[in-house]
Structure 1
Amino acid sequence: MNDTVTTEDRDFATRARDNQAQRTAGLRRSYDFIVCGAGASGSVIARRLAESPEVHVLLLEAGGSDEADSVLNPALWPTNLGSKRDWGFLAAPNPHLKGRALSLSMGKGLGGGSSINVMVWARGHRSDWDYFAAEAGDPAWGYENVLDIYRRIENWQGAPDPRFRGTGGPVWVQPAADPSPVAHAMLDAASDIGIPVFDHPNGRMMEGEGGAAISDMLVRDGRRHSLYRAYLHPWLDRPNLTVLTGAMVRRVVFDGRRATGVEFLRDGQVTTVGATAEVVLSLGAIHTPKVLMHSGIGDREELARVGIPVRQHLPGVGRNFQDHVSFGCTWEYAEPIPPRNSGSEATLYWKSRPDLDAPDLLFCQVEFPVPSDRTAARGVPAHGWTMFAGLAQPVSRGRLRLEGADPSAAVTVDTNFLSDPTDMTTARACIEICRALGNAPAFRPYVRSEAMPGALTGDALDDYIRDAAVTYWHQSCTAKMGRDAMSVVDGALRVYGVDALRVADASIMPRVTTGNTQAPCAIIGERAAEAIRQSHKLRPRSARSASGLRGSDIEAADERAVLAPVGRP
């Protein structure tokens, strides 16, 4: 690990700290753009908009700083789960999981999920992006254009591969460094059972049937390199960017059909700030639809149920909830093998049926035991590894429901996992492949025995699946992009029926991407920023001429004005 701090680093840290202290101490009454949420998409958008020096950008984040060892030390990521950096959502009891109520961790703080996750960089499959393009009616969402964006934003540290990898972008991506022998054993086991092995997982491997590879990770010099660190942190000394933490967005403010600002809660005080150009919601697949509904945008029956006046009837808000569901299978080590890096260094995508032309299963090897609340009772080895494997393309769909008209009220998340019988069929195939991998000859030097599930069949296997099911923390699709009656945003991510409001986060996915979602969220952020820049004719960052945005001409006295609170909750 490189702990060297240069004079240049210290100088920048001082400039950034002083600049943000000045900006947040004297908030403007309005900004050109307000971005809500500093996660994997919001960090990208705020940076890209702030690259135009003639506009002023406000980024609101409910959580706090990422300056903590639990965030920056890759090995400590599990300690963030259930902490103050986790929203700690709890799903409704699910009858399809024998009444279990699963925890749904989501990142709270600068970087969002990219500051508490396992740091895996997984681009999604070719078929995902082509599906997005078809749903949006916009070829710019298609695979070839998205591949070009990935090449542009990556700073790839592995073996050169110019067809698939880029080297000049802000996102430092590297293969897991010096992987554990069990990670290599997983690749050998995949080969043993006929699954191809690739040099990295973000190229040819995800253009066809799938395969296995050492994971790509957002780790730089031994430290987490979140999307906040990649995009936004280097821009904190800029005079046109304000990053306000501890600011919980409650609702969007409108003048007729036009979004004109947001209402947020900070230090017990409710405040409104204006947006002269646009508001962008990047709050994640639970809070984004929640804020939309509290702003009067959603299904009219759902809004009427809790007494919220309807501004725009969009029945898809809060519907179409998706997530990857995992069923852990565990083996006991013959001798203890300490985890390396994040403890998850090998990944695999494959098919539950041979007739498929794209993977529908996702496998992440975890180098320590990961039982569910129920499977822990079956006996967990003190030392072992887990195949954290599950449904990459689930068929079941869930939804969100408000618990009241007050924005501070909670939201009910009905995941509806395994409600569609197809998902149970796929889950059985997933377990079968897990067991074939873990019991392959490649693991014999490292494994004493299979701890769970063992050779279960029939109802016993189904019981195990329902007991083992947990989330991958890839919540998505609750404000989907498309052109049908259940779509919430168009191909430019504009919310239907209102002006100056966009959604840009995993909510807009028509279906969850095949794999971890932070890399696709970076693409969503890039595509949103590109659409906004084109819409407002923003100039490149070298240009100093005015963009024509009304907020750019705010007088200096107004720029220094502190916002007036509108009340207390």
Structure 2
Amino acid sequence: MRVFDFIIVGSGSAGSVVAERLSASGRHTVLVLEAGGTDRRFFVQMPLGYGKTFYDKSVNWMYKAEADPGLGGNADYWPRGKVLGGSSSINAMVYIRGAKEDFDEWRERGNPGWGYDDVLPVFQALEDHDGPAKSLGRGGPLHVTDCAHLFHPLANQILKGAQEAGLRYNPDFNGATQEGTGPFQLTTKGGRRMSAARAFLRPAMKRRNVTVLTGAMVQRIVFEGKRAAGVAFTRNGRAETVMAGREVILCGGSVNTPQLLELSGIGDAARLAQFGIPLVHANSQVGENLQDHLGINYTYRANVASLNQVLRPWWGKLRVGIEYLLLRTGPLSISLNQGGGFFRTDPSRQRPNMQLYFQAFSTVRPGEGERPILTPDPWPGFSIGLSNCRPTSVGSIHIRSGNPLDAPKIVPNAFSTEHDVAEMLDAVKFLRKIAAAPALSKLIVEELLPGPQCRSDGDLIADFRRRSGTVYHPVSTCRMGPDPAASVVDPRLRVHGIEALRVIDCSIFPNIISGNTNAAAMMVGAKGASLVLDELT
């Protein structure tokens, strides 16, 4: 039976970083188990290719949440990466660390070493930024691109409209403040996606002490008493077991990590008994405390050209395709979300509570099972989107059976608090304020979604319940904290009550952060690896 010093389950945003850091000295053997396959696929590497991977089961778990009363009874679609690099290989590439206050709240919840001043150097060591912003690091493995010079002209007009509506220009959402509007920084380099796999795992795979197995579906953690001794998995139709000389580290993210803990006997005792899973350690917090950002778009028909006229016709596809293949530039080389910002729905709030997304592009009528980024509407159109930064609604993710191949039961409980409903109502009203600004109103022919008939508060609430959905930032299902009765891992990311088992991914967030979660997931990977290395004797 094979033995490795460290076994890492999952090669996503955090897992790729953990693998690179633990193997860097050459003194420790590292095994990475990934259920998906290679990231060397054209539509993974091409930034705008995530429109293709959005419903591609070869790289995507394609989960579906339970029907949610808060979303008008809709069962929301939850894409998650099933590929080297995990969701960093299929996401929209926006790089935002989170607000200073978010991490200070982590520390204040009893997690020393996780305040903003503690994690900022970790972020900066990861980063290699090519733009003028001074907040981001330089020389790290993760390249971050400033895309301001790649803005579509219509995106610039949306940006101008947001400023006319009262938001100041902010060229750097990772700087002193998030508030304002401006271009996004993206995880790309040379016109290609800079996933965690490209930045961290691929370099680590060149080391003799690193083994990466794709197509490895982990079934359960193997225990010796209350010590994690290894993992059992299937690969190519064959059952295998590998042992860990030092630690098993779970990096499956907020969906798959609680699933694997429960399948392995760590979770609520009654739930595990229901599925005939022998109890190793009782912890009712596993899979609980789910938080996620919810988003919605307001979409407009314009009287000037948008990216629709570039990407929809065959000759437009041909032109941008040749441009991308020859030069690695053009609209295929960046994200659909070129810019955005952060704002307060109420000036009395101490900091922003909503995030904006600007898209010089529209897809009013996508069919079931498609996200036609590369085939947009036939008319000029654009969208202004938003998502809540710190929702108070809390859901859960749990196994629905003892079979590892059964998708977990995702219960978001979206808009289940009056707070979340009230702030989203204020937020969508602000979207219309941006659209009414002089820079945009002169370009708008009509509001397509939700449409001018949607006016009353009741209508607006019904609309955002019906049309909102996840923006793919689930966190906190194995949250970090000092109290075993209220958390799953301690501040050093060790699973409470278990030896040699850690969780290092975004499921450990004590609470959701403001903005996209990919950057913070990689930070957790780097900091978590340093905690592991600090304890080696």
For the criterion TM > 0.5, the same-fold answer is yes
Give per-residue Cα distances to partners, 1:522-545, cap 9 Å, x unaligned.
1100111000000115xxxxxxxx
* Alpha-carbon spacing, 1:417–1:373, altered in 2? closer, same or farther (3 Å): farther
Partner of 1:367: 360
Q: Which amino acid in 1 is paired with 2:272?
A: L
The correspondence for 2:296, drawn from 300, 303, 327, is 327
Q: Which amino acid in 1 is paired with 2:278?
A: P
Partner of 1:3: none
| 1:78-157 to 2 correspondences below 5 Å | 78-83=51-56, 84-138=58-112, 140-157=113-130
Partner of 2:535: 535
Asked if the contact 1:482–1:510 (Cα under 8 Å) also holds between the matched residues in 2, the reply is: yes
Asked if the contact 1:63–1:247 (Cα under 8 Å) also holds between the matched residues in 2, the reply is: yes
Distance apart, 1:465 and its partner CA: 0.9
SS of corresponding position for 2:254: helix
Asked if the contact 2:353–2:389 (Cα under 8 Å) also holds between the matched residues in 1, the reply is: yes
The correspondence for 2:407, drawn from 399, 405, 410, is 410
CA distance in 1, matches of 2:380, 2:92: 20
SS of corresponding position for 2:448: strand
Query: Given the alignment of the two structures, is residue 291 of structure 1 paired with residue 260 of structure 2, yes or no?
Result: yes
SS of corresponding position for 1:320: coil
Query: Given the alignment of the two structures, is residue 196 of structure 1 paired with residue 168 of structure 2, yes or no?
Result: yes
Partner of 1:48: 21
SS of corresponding position for 1:288: helix
The correspondence for 1:423, drawn from 420, 424, 429, is 420
Distance apart, 1:160 and its partner CA: 5.0
Asked if the contact 1:369–1:386 (Cα under 8 Å) also holds between the matched residues in 2, the reply is: yes
| 1:270-349 to 2 correspondences below 5 Å | 270-338=239-307, 340=331, 341-349=334-342
Deviates more, 1:299-308 or 1:466-475: 299-308
Number of equivalent positions: 502
Query: Given the alignment of the two structures, is residue 510 of structure 1 paired with residue 503 of structure 2, yes or no?
Result: no
* Alpha-carbon spacing, 1:155–1:250, altered in 2? closer, same or farther (3 Å): same
CA distance in 2, matches of 1:343, 1:301: 45
Query: Given the alignment of the two structures, is residue 181 of structure 1 paired with residue 153 of structure 2, yes or no?
Result: yes
Distance apart, 1:372 and its partner CA: 8.1
Asked if the contact 2:425–2:457 (Cα under 8 Å) also holds between the matched residues in 1, the reply is: no
Partner of 2:322: none
Asked if the contact 2:228–2:499 (Cα under 8 Å) also holds between the matched residues in 1, the reply is: yes
CA distance in 2, matches of 1:220, 1:231: 14
* Alpha-carbon spacing, 1:439–1:85, altered in 2? closer, same or farther (3 Å): farther
Distance apart, 1:444 and its partner CA: 4.0
Distance apart, 1:53 and its partner CA: 0.6
Q: Which amino acid in 2 is paired with 1:69?
A: F
Distance apart, 1:383 and its partner CA: 3.1
Asked if the contact 1:369–1:381 (Cα under 8 Å) also holds between the matched residues in 2, the reply is: no
Asked if the contact 1:158–1:174 (Cα under 8 Å) also holds between the matched residues in 2, the reply is: yes
Distance apart, 1:423 and its partner CA: 1.0
Partner of 1:63: 36
* Alpha-carbon spacing, 1:277–1:494, altered in 2? closer, same or farther (3 Å): same
CA distance in 2, matches of 1:373, 1:133: 43
SS of corresponding position for 1:316: coil
SS of corresponding position for 2:96: coil
Q: Which amino acid in 1 is paired with 2:62?
A: G
Distance apart, 1:373 and its partner CA: 7.3
CA distance in 2, matches of 1:338, 1:369: 8
CA distance in 1, matches of 2:146, 2:29: 37
Distance apart, 1:406 and its partner CA: 2.5
Partner of 1:226: 195
CA distance in 2, matches of 1:458, 1:191: 25
Partner of 1:434: 431
CA distance in 2, matches of 1:374, 1:116: 20
Distance apart, 1:461 and its partner CA: 1.2
Partner of 1:393: 390
Partner of 2:317: none
Partner of 1:21: none
Query: Given the alignment of the two structures, is residue 471 of structure 1 paired with residue 473 of structure 2, yes or no?
Result: no
CA distance in 1, matches of 2:176, 2:154: 24
Distance apart, 1:68 and its partner CA: 1.1
Provide TM-score, normalisation by structure 1: 0.85
Partner of 1:350: 343
Provide TM-score, normalisation by structure 2: 0.90
Gaps of 5+ in 2: 309-330, 371-375
Q: Which amino acid in 2 is paired with 1:452?
A: L
Aligned-residue Cα RMSD (Å) equals 1.9
* Alpha-carbon spacing, 1:361–1:370, altered in 2? closer, same or farther (3 Å): farther
Give per-residue Cα distances to partners, 1:144-196, cap 9 Å, x unaligned.
121222222111101151xx221111110111142112222232222212212
CA distance in 2, matches of 1:479, 1:382: 45
Distance apart, 1:380 and its partner CA: 7.1
Asked if the contact 1:250–1:291 (Cα under 8 Å) also holds between the matched residues in 2, the reply is: yes
Q: Which amino acid in 2 is paired with 1:518?
A: N
CA distance in 2, matches of 1:407, 1:518: 26
CA distance in 2, matches of 1:65, 1:221: 20
SS of corresponding position for 1:53: coil
Distance apart, 1:432 and its partner CA: 0.9
Asked if the contact 1:175–1:200 (Cα under 8 Å) also holds between the matched residues in 2, the reply is: no
Distance apart, 1:366 and its partner CA: 2.3
Give per-residue Cα distances to partners, 1:376-433, cap 9 Å, x unaligned.
9xx9774311122121111111112322123233321111111112111111011011
Partner of 2:459: 460
Percentage of identical aligned residues: 34
Give per-residue Cα distances to partners, 1:464-485, cap 9 Å, x unaligned.
1111111101111100011242
Partner of 2:141: 170
Query: Given the alignment of the two structures, is residue 31 of structure 1 paired with residue 4 of structure 2, yes or no?
Result: yes
Asked if the contact 2:287–2:478 (Cα under 8 Å) also holds between the matched residues in 1, the reply is: yes
Gaps of 5+ in 1: 1-27, 538-569
Query: Given the alignment of the two structures, is residue 494 of structure 1 paired with residue 494 of structure 2, yes or no?
Result: yes
Partner of 2:315: none
SS of corresponding position for 1:291: helix
CA distance in 2, matches of 1:266, 1:321: 30
Partner of 1:244: 213
CA distance in 1, matches of 2:89, 2:34: 13
Q: Which amino acid in 2 is paired with 1:501?
A: L
CA distance in 1, matches of 2:291, 2:17: 23
CA distance in 2, matches of 1:438, 1:391: 19
Give per-residue Cα distances to partners, 1:95-149, cap 9 Å, x unaligned.
22221101001111011111001111010011111111122430x2111121222
Partner of 1:74: 47
